[in-house]
Amino acid sequence: MCFLGLLFSICGMARAGDDQPRYFAYTGDGVAKDFEFGAQFIQTMRNIIDSKNPEVIGTLFQPDFVIVGCNGTYSKEKLIQYLVLIKQTPGFSLKEARSSGATIELVYAISRPTTPTTTVKLVFNRMEQKLQSARITSCKKTLVETNESIADQLINEEGQKPVDLSRLGPTHF
């Protein structure tokens, strides 16, 4: 437990009295504050993903977290599996940040060297201090795509490396 506390403090997290990880003290509503929060959150998330520790990565998500991709819905466990396996954490660029009640919607462009930029919307629960859901919003279906869309390569069914786009498969309409 002491090791986790040290890791959280290194990653910029503080521990609250209820023993839940707290990422930030969110200081109010407004576009500037939302963007500031989004920038801080993505840096903390990158540090946690870089740890490659499934237990630590799991602290980012609510238990019932799901991410909706272009070709399916993936569980928290599937996402954690993928994040542990990737060699390099993708680049994140904050596009939008908007608070509404107990949540903050964060829209990021995610870039990887081998795939086009993907846009994802994250919903962060301010009370729980965890991500409650995510949706890949940049789905493009063309005749030349293979079994999985490029956006879904971020989280493929096997939790392994991205699909080899050089092999042909059924097309999507």
Q: Is residue 36's pLDDT more than 50?
A: yes
Please identify which residue in the block is written with the tokens 């840096």: 43
Tell which wins on pLDDT, 21 or 135.
Answer: 135
Q: What is the mean pLDDT of the chain?
A: 73
Is residue 60 scored above 90 in pLDDT?
yes
The pLDDT of residue 62 is above 80: yes
β pairing state of 91-100 and 103-112: antiparallel
Instruction: Give yes or no for residue 121 having a pLDDT over 50.
Output: yes
pLDDT band at 28 (very low <50, low <70, confident <90, very high): low
Q: How confident is the model at residue 123 (pLDDT cuts 50, 70, 90)?
A: very high
**Fold topology of 2-155:** Nuclear Transport Factor 2; Chain: A, (3.10.450)
Q: Give pTM, 2 decimals.
A: 0.65
Q: Where are the domains of the chain?
A: 2-155
Phi-psi region of 160 (alpha: psi -120 to 50; beta: other; left: phi over 0): beta
Rounded Cα distance between 12 and 9, Å, is 5
Would you place residue 6 in the very low, low, confident or very high pLDDT band (cuts 50, 70, 90)?
A: very low
pLDDT digits over 93-103, tens only? 899 999 888 99
Is 125 a residue whose pLDDT tops 80?
yes
pLDDT digits (tens, 9 = 90+) for 65-95: 999 998 889 999 999 998 999 888 788 889 9
- DSSP element (H, E) containing 55: helix 54-58
